[in-house]
Amino acid sequence: MCKENPAAEEKNEVVSKHFIEQIIDKDLAEGVYDTVHTRFPPEPNGYLHIGHAKSILLNYGLAQEYGGKFNMRFDDTNPTKEKTEFVESIMADIKWLGADWEDRLFFASNYFGQMYEAAVKLIKKGKAYVSDLSAEQIREYRGTLTEPGKEDPSSKRSIEENLKLFEEMKNGVYADGEKVLRARIDMASPNMNMRDPVIYRVAHMHHHNTGDAWCIYPMYDFAHPIEDAIEGITHSICTLEFEDHRPLYDWVVRELEYPHPPKQIEFAKMYLTNVVTGKRYIKKLVEDGIVDGWDDPRLVSIAALRRRGFTPESIKMFVDLCGVSKSNSSVDYAMLEYCIREDLKLKRSRVMAVIDPVKLVIDNYPEGQVEYLDAPNNLENEALGSRQVPFSRELYIEREDFMEEPPKKYFRLFPGNEVRLMNAYFVKCTGFEKDENGNVTVVHATYDPETKSGSGFEGRKVKGTIHWVACNTALKATVRLYENIIDEEKGVYNEDGSLNLNPNSLTVKEAYLEPSLKEAKPYESFQFVRQGYFCVDYKDSKEGAPVFNRIVSLKSSFKLPKKD
């Protein structure tokens, strides 16, 4: 299509930029910075979830867009909750999403020496002091939103005494909580974060990276701006809950006199409806055995989404659709499902799998004969080619594809009705067998050899087509069908704060699949005809015996909003 007005298109592109891009454009134009350097700084105290994906892709995407750099940095200043397991899982998730930090992998703990010297510098400037108040007393002295705080009695100490006490804190002289280092700012500030915040505390804890080298640790609000400044970050992008912390961020970099101070910018978090993202809740689900780990496919951790079969491309599409703004809002989980369907529909083979089987016997088909039929892998993408599917006298079909007494407009198998077996022949139902409980166990039919798919048959028409799997070559496999782990009708939380769990969030079936799926590898995904998209589970699959997780069904209630 020809571009009618390239200038107008270019103008529209500029207008469509989100507010962070507009800030960066202004900074570059005014010479505030001559490059763009971003970072993703998670605390390694749990697995990342879908909300973190937005931050990862935003920070990395901005670095790419402006030809800048992207750092990966662990904000590991709190040894009470951090584990090497979480460090490794976070790195795996970010690599999988496609964010490349190249050789710029950093740990905040590697800067502990520089942070200590920064604190000493503040003491020498009269901008920090050692306090004897307990945590409870500090809260009491801080005041309220309507009343100013009271001066800490320790704030009158001399610089020399503060230096001595801070060094003793470092040397392990004091017990946990016995002393803290506070920034001297303004106890009457309308911003509670500026009322002489604690910037160092005593904690005799083993650290996953530094071992027992330190028994004092910096607070996040003090450490984070220092880390950004040391690494040359230009735009420190974080979520809205840090907006009130920005004055403290700016105070730290200003008082420490960094030559090119970074700029903090806040954006709205991404909230998904009826999902569990809180680490405390997921930890309890794991400990109670309700899920089989942080990567259980019913969760929305990045590891769980990957295990379930979501792709990096689908998550990027989802993040792009959500956009970047200053306003908090919730997004329906159906949008995420829409994105994975859109991503997979042209990429994955469409195969036959029977999840609730009943046997179909074609009485006039030769016993012992196996015929290989040609089946296209994806009707919407011919480039995926075709495969050979074995066909024989006895097949498995879905139980719902046969009814003894069908309602109107039921076009599948019932006595006397004819349907097409997908990629095969027309078959006509001639009868059925039941067990002592009245359950149908076998459906009988005859086939018309003239009606083979691809033969050019132009005779009578049939209204129904059903899928099937040949019994003698079928792969028996475990299939997991998922629903939301939350009971959506009741909401996420009970009145007591516990989770409203859906008892039907996981259904396990023994299914019959095309034999070609025997060689399916972990994380490989397929469309099962009429059932949805499925992915080979990396954790529980064994060679020749894959376990399939349903990624998403084929039906969607989500519709993209119409553009003006």
- Please provide the DSSP assignment of 401-456 as one string: GB-SS--TT--SB-TT-EEEETTS-EEEEEEEEE-TTS-EEEEEEEEEGGG-TTS-
Residue 39 has pLDDT above 90, yes or no: yes
Task: Using pLDDT thresholds of 50, 70 and 90, give the confidence band for residue 87.
Answer: very high
Question: What is the DSSP secondary structure assignment for residue 525, as one 8-state letter?
Answer: E
Tens of pLDDT, residue by residue over 356-389, are 999 999 999 999 999 999 999 999 999 999 999 9
Instruction: Pick the range with the lowest mean pLDDT from 168-172, 346-350, 540-544.
Output: 540-544
Residue 6 has pLDDT above 60, yes or no: no
For strands 350-351 and 525-528, give the pairing: parallel
The per-residue pLDDT for 10 is 45
Over range 536-559, report the average pLDDT. 88
CA–CA distances in Å: residue 358 to residues 81, 96, 388, 435: 52, 40, 23, 12
Task: Using pLDDT thresholds of 50, 70 and 90, give the confidence band for residue 560.
Answer: low
The per-residue pLDDT for 13 is 47
The per-residue pLDDT for 338 is 95
Task: Using pLDDT thresholds of 50, 70 and 90, give the confidence band for residue 217.
Answer: very high
Distance in angstroms (rounded) separating the CA atoms of residues 204 and 344: 50
Question: What is the DSSP secondary structure assignment for residue 424, as one 8-state letter?
Answer: S
Contact 294, 89 (CB under 8 A): yes
3-state DSSP assignment of residue 526: strand
Task: Using pLDDT thresholds of 50, 70 and 90, give the confidence band for residue 517.
Answer: very high
Task: Using pLDDT thresholds of 50, 70 and 90, give the confidence band for residue 2.
Answer: very low
Percent of the chain residues past pLDDT 70, beyond the cut: 96
Contact 475, 394 (CB under 8 A): no
Tens of pLDDT, residue by residue over 474-511, are 999 999 999 999 988 888 888 888 889 999 999 999 99
Residue 9 has pLDDT above 90, yes or no: no
Identity (one letter) of the amino acid at 6? P
Average pLDDT, the chain: 93
Instruction: Say if residue 115 is exposed, middle or buried (CB neighbours under 10 Å; 0-12, 13-18, 19+).
Output: buried
Instruction: Pick the range with the lowest mean pLDDT from 283-287, 360-364, 414-418, 446-450.
Output: 283-287
Tens of pLDDT, residue by residue over 164-181, are 999 999 999 999 999 999
Domains of the chain: 19-267 (3.40.50.620), 279-344+478-513+520-552 (1.10.1160.10), 350-474 (2.40.240.10)
Distance in angstroms (rounded) separating the CA atoms of residues 365 and 444: 11
Residue 4 has pLDDT above 60, yes or no: no
Task: Using pLDDT thresholds of 50, 70 and 90, give the confidence band for residue 11.
Answer: very low
Taking the CA of residue 420 as centre, how many other CA atoms within 13 Å lie in the half-sphere pointing to its CB? 16
Q: How many CB atoms lie under 10 A from the CB of residue 287?
A: 9
Rounded-to-5 percentages of helix, strand, coil across the chain = 30, 25, 45
Taking the CA of residue 104 as centre, how many other CA atoms within 13 Å lie in the half-sphere pointing to its CB? 22
Over range 6-18, report the average pLDDT. 57
Tens of pLDDT, residue by residue over 417-441, are 999 999 999 999 999 999 999 999 9
The per-residue pLDDT for 320 is 95
CA angle 436, 441, 444 (to 5 degrees): 125
Q: Is the dihedral of CA 419, 425, 429, 430 positive or negative?
A: positive
Distance in angstroms (rounded) separating the CA atoms of residues 525 and 520: 8
Question: What is the DSSP secondary structure assignment for residue 563, as one 8-state letter?
Answer: P
Q: How many CB atoms lie under 10 A from the CB of residue 409?
A: 6
The per-residue pLDDT for 280 is 86
Distance in angstroms (rounded) separating the CA atoms of residues 238 and 267: 6
Number of helices (H) and strands (E), helices first, in the chain? 13, 27
Sorted by sequence, the CB contacts under 8 Å of residue 194 that are 6+ apart come out as 185, 186, 247, 248, 251
Contact 232, 179 (CB under 8 A): no
Residue 117 has pLDDT above 60, yes or no: yes
